[in-house]
Chain A
Amino acid sequence: MSRTKGSRTEGRPGKPTGGRVRPAGLAGILGEAIEAPEGYLDEKQFDGLALRLFAHQYEAMPAYRALCNARGGMPETVRGWRAIPAVSTSLFRTTAFFAGSDDAVAAVFATSGTTGGETNRGRSHFSTPGLELMEAGIVVNARRMLFPDIDRSHILVLAPSPELAPQMIMAWGMDRLIRHFGTPESRFLIGRSGLDVPLLVDLLGRFSKGTTPVTLIGASFGFVNLIEGFRSKGIAFALPPGSRTMDAGGFKGKSRVLTRAELRTWISETFGIADGHAVNLLGMTELASQFYDDGVEATVAGRVPCGLKQNPPWTRTRAVDPLTLEDVPAGSDGVLLHLDLANLDTPMAVLTDDLGVCRPDGFEVLGRLSSDDSRGCSLTIDELTRSRP
């Protein structure tokens, strides 16, 4: 298990988001925990909230209840957050998990569905209180991990806007970052015909002459493809001090594959971004919360970044044997299982298909597991999914 200690909260502690009124009931309690000024939940506090949320989700989601019953994990038997039954991400492709009535659904986000087409896309449903909770988490987390030292930035997003990609949770989250941390010049740069490179070049050129830090945000593969294009044309910028990048996801099949160090070097050379100001984000459609590495946060605090992903206080991450769902020995490779108290409407415990390892200072994603990694010559589920007419 890995979690962020309270002492790590070097920046400003969480503030209530936008002065809005917190919803009553469980959503309100969870919102208070996420925005708690102390920025820390101890085991007892986390356990209490997790078990309360679990009991709610067990009652409110028949599909989740069926899974819990099959595993023998019911509210009356589960004694701690580690025992809360987790839902495999694969199940989100086949099952609509939502702790509410259909008319309470305010947004549905879908995974990218890189294999198997539209029918193979996982979906996450959110209510209005669920979206508010997610937004609270995004803001508090970003204030700690992405903007611990600045209030406003020109945020340029290498992704489509929520209007253009309403099912893309990343677009929704980035829109929230712009609302809370962006200048009026902040904007999304992918339109119907793709990335608006001339506009991007123009904006970067103009912003380079100013003093307001620029924040470039996008998918990791998008950064690689963009920088490759810039490098081939000899284009480079010297963005103002304090500028930073935040990339999310991986490269597989969408761009040249780089190591993190190589990508940081490319970013530094192309945008003039200082060391320690290129941060990577792990986000999933199935989770309301995201996990930053400690690049910016540690650098601003004067520490050497460890490069590991950091858990927001309202989350926990375990590396488990996916079959037994027990923790693997400390430092061993396992499948990452996240618990997220901001997942109000969808199962809070999610078993990913990410291979990872938990260390004392955070966790690391080592790659994506696939049934293609099977040893045999028999067709795997993933192969069949791709081959099916």
Chain B
Amino acid sequence: MTSSLCWYPPDLPPGTVGSRRQSPDGATISRLAGVLAGRKPALAAIPLDRIVQVLHEASLAWMDIRNPGIRHTLERIARSTGMSMPMVERATVHEMESSLAPDLMAAIRNEIGNPDYLDGFAYNPHSDGMTIAVGPKLVGGIVSSNIPALPHLTVMRSLIVKAPCIVKTSVSEPDFLPAYVQTLHEIDPEVARCVAVVSFGREDEEALQAFLASVDFLIAYGGREAMEALRAKKPARLRALLHGHRLGFALVAGSELRKALEGGGYRSPGSGGSPDRMPGATGTGLRSAVGRYLSAPGGRPAGAGLEQILDAGREALGLVGVGSLELPLALAYDAVLFDQEACLAPHVIFVEGTFDQACGLAERIAGRMERLADDLPPGTRTLAQRLSVRQELDMLALDGRSRVFFAGSIERGIVAVQECEVFRPSPLGRFVRVVPVPDLLRALEHVAPLGDLLQNAAVAAPDDRRPVLERALADLGVCRICPPGNMGTPTMMWHHDGHPCISAMLRFCDAETRGGMHKRLLARRAGAGAAARLKKLIG
């Protein structure tokens, strides 16, 4: 497994790029981008099914966290992100499990209806015509380092829309993406030759300008000011999805709070399983279960199908019963996963109840966070994070309407109960605030001013209250609503930041068919493949 800064297709023309261990300059980026863009027709000719299969196989390969090569990369990621190795493992399996073929295809259908549009003109029953979806000539990705194994999403999105891509990795976590693309290369070099990974410093304006000038679609992740700077620097013609920082929160209805305080299990709608299941604290455990199915001596068990593998992965991750976790555990898991660094993680848990009831729940959450820390040890907080936590604790000490619960120690997690009038964010790093409110509508007043900063809301409420709450959350700007315990694990179907992330990259072309003749002409023009598909579809 490579530990290079960059990954380049091995079949580049001589002189296109330099060493993989060096950051490319602007001229190199321009040359590389030119070559990649030239591979667009070849990529467009590869059937979507084959591309999805390649991505699926890559995800399976990365779920094999016992593989020495994978492990080597994960250890490097743990060092560079400061997350504990078990957390990096879990993040990787979480991300890869949601990147398998069924989810990929479902995501495509979710956004563009018919996946065939990506392979060529296909019959569109809604228009009674033909439609094709054309991806960009070259996608540029600028990815961050916060969630291990997440940067592959940019590569997947690009390949799905048949667009070559050049991705700039985070300088602070440069290891994952080159290793992931190497996996793609080992599975299907013809697909991987349309991908390149580069790394250059954030101060390298020349490289950035060359990068932005070379691509015709940009996907970028980063802080809000970094996104604003990119927006200002990018050419006006360059279409972009800029994923700036956002935040999550949770709502707990009074009925669910009382159940939790009485010790009852929380059951989200449609969930099954055991209510007191500990994520990751199962008898088998993540490593052993995934290892058994994917990389035990002898490899994957003969005949193990996708569902078996997924079941094993879910079981290993403790996901089987996540939807039915007892509420404090579910909320603790949301605050612990990825050390609360994802934009999906909760800053605040609003509870419909009294201060004392909130304290009761907070104490239980802190207790569950302490237990979770055994399986998912907290990462190393940066000095800035530690200062931020200290400042927050000091503010709480001066607030007569607050109480703090530690998850065994200050390092393992902090739950602060506080009566606030306005939304107060968390310093993160397993620090969650519990805010009692007389009514959940009051909680909505807290978050309403945040508007497009809102990302994710976990809702623990009875079925009869959910429709009103969910509609209100959507109107306020929330982009995802889920049960507690699921905040950190969205599916590929989720509209990240509220955008259709696949279809936003596409340009659709609709060929209208009128009176049958047009339809026949189009069929002829589209070639034999499209004609056959047309015949199959419309007879």
> Which residues of A are at the interface with B, using a C-beta cutoff of 8 A?
63, 66-67, 70-71, 87-88, 90-91, 94-95, 321-325, 333-335, 351, 353, 355, 369-381, 383-384, 386-389
Q: Are B343 and A379 in contact (CB-based, < 8 A)?
A: yes
Q: Are A95 and B248 in contact (CB-based, < 8 A)?
A: no
Closest to B222 in A: A377
Q: Are B386 and A323 in contact (CB-based, < 8 A)?
A: yes
Enumerate chain B residues within 8 angstroms of A369, measured Cβ to Cβ.
383-384, 387
Q: Are B146 and A370 in contact (CB-based, < 8 A)?
A: no
The yes or no answer to B529 lying at the interface (CB within 8 A) is no
The yes or no answer to B350 lying at the interface (CB within 8 A) is no
Q: What is the minimal beta-carbon distance from B416 to any residue of chain A, in angstroms?
A: 12
Give CA–CA (A94, B392) in the complex, Å. 12
Closest to B245 in A: A379
Enumerate chain A residues within 8 angstroms of B385, measured Cβ to Cβ.
371, 373-375
Q: Are B410 and A323 in contact (CB-based, < 8 A)?
A: yes
The yes or no answer to B223 lying at the interface (CB within 8 A) is yes
- Please tell me which one of the listed residues B342, B411, B449 contacts residue A377 in the complex, with CB atoms under 8 A apart: B342
In the assembled complex, 24 residue pairs joining A and B whose CB atoms fall closer than 8 Å, in A order, are A71-B397, A88-B394, A90-B391, A91-B391, A91-B394, A91-B395, A94-B398, A321-B383, A321-B386, A323-B387, A369-B384, A372-B223, A373-B384, A374-B428, A376-B146, A376-B339, A377-B146, A377-B245, A377-B343, A378-B341, A378-B347, A378-B428, A380-B388, A389-B449
Closest to B382 in A: A373
Give CA–CA (A372, B384) in the complex, Å. 8
Give CA–CA (A350, B488) in the complex, Å. 37
Enumerate chain A residues within 8 angstroms of B245, measured Cβ to Cβ.
376-380, 383
Q: Are A387 and B397 in contact (CB-based, < 8 A)?
A: no
Q: Are B398 and A376 in contact (CB-based, < 8 A)?
A: no
Interface of A is mostly: mixed
Give CA–CA (A322, B453) in the complex, Å. 29
Which chain B residues (133-176) contact chain A, with CB distance < 8 Å?
A: 144-147, 172
Give CA–CA (A380, B225) in the complex, Å. 12
Q: Are A374 and B384 in contact (CB-based, < 8 A)?
A: yes
Q: Quick one: given A91-B398, A323-B381, A370-B384, are A380 and B428 in contact (CB under 8 Å)? A: yes
Q: Are B147 and A95 in contact (CB-based, < 8 A)?
A: no
Q: What is the minimal beta-carbon distance from A292 to any residue of chain B, in angstroms?
A: 25
Q: Are A380 and B383 in contact (CB-based, < 8 A)?
A: no
A-B contact sample (4 more), CB < 8 A, given A90-B395, A383-B223: A322-B389, A335-B386, A353-B387, A370-B384
Q: Are A323 and B428 in contact (CB-based, < 8 A)?
A: no
Q: Quick one: given A375-B82, A376-B341, are A322 and B425 in contact (CB under 8 Å)? A: no
Q: Which of A63, A335, A379 has the most CB of B within 10 A?
A: A379
Q: Quick one: given A90-B395, A323-B410, are A379 and B247 in contact (CB under 8 Å)? A: yes
Closest to A321 in B: B386
Q: Are A371 and B388 in contact (CB-based, < 8 A)?
A: yes
Contact with A along B418-460 (1 / 0, CB 8 A): 0000000111110000000000000000000111010000000
Q: How large is the interface on B (under 10, 10 to 19, 20 to 34, 35 or more residues)?
A: 35 or more
Give CA–CA (A66, B395) in the complex, Å. 10
Give CA–CA (A372, B428) in the complex, Å. 12
Q: Which of A67, A322, A386 has the most CB of B within 10 A?
A: A322
Q: Are B243 and A376 in contact (CB-based, < 8 A)?
A: no
Q: Are A322 and B428 in contact (CB-based, < 8 A)?
A: no
Q: Are B425 and A88 in contact (CB-based, < 8 A)?
A: no
Enumerate chain A residues within 8 angstroms of B223, measured Cβ to Cβ.
372, 380, 383
Q: Are A88 and B146 in contact (CB-based, < 8 A)?
A: no
Q: Are A371 and B427 in contact (CB-based, < 8 A)?
A: yes
Q: Are B384 and A377 in contact (CB-based, < 8 A)?
A: no
The yes or no answer to B524 lying at the interface (CB within 8 A) is no
Give CA–CA (A323, B429) in the complex, Å. 12
Which chain B residues (344-392) contact chain A, with CB distance < 8 Å?
A: 344-345, 347, 381-391
Q: Are B345 and A378 in contact (CB-based, < 8 A)?
A: yes
Q: Are B341 and A375 in contact (CB-based, < 8 A)?
A: yes
Q: Are B394 and A322 in contact (CB-based, < 8 A)?
A: no
Q: Are A381 and B397 in contact (CB-based, < 8 A)?
A: no
The yes or no answer to B520 lying at the interface (CB within 8 A) is no
Q: What is the minimal beta-carbon distance from A33 to any residue of chain B, in angstroms?
A: 28
Closest to B454 in A: A379
Give CA–CA (A306, B72) in the complex, Å. 43
State the 8 A-B residue pairs at the shortest beta-carbon distance, nearest first: A376-B341, A70-B397, A373-B384, A322-B387, A323-B386, A90-B391, A376-B146, A379-B247
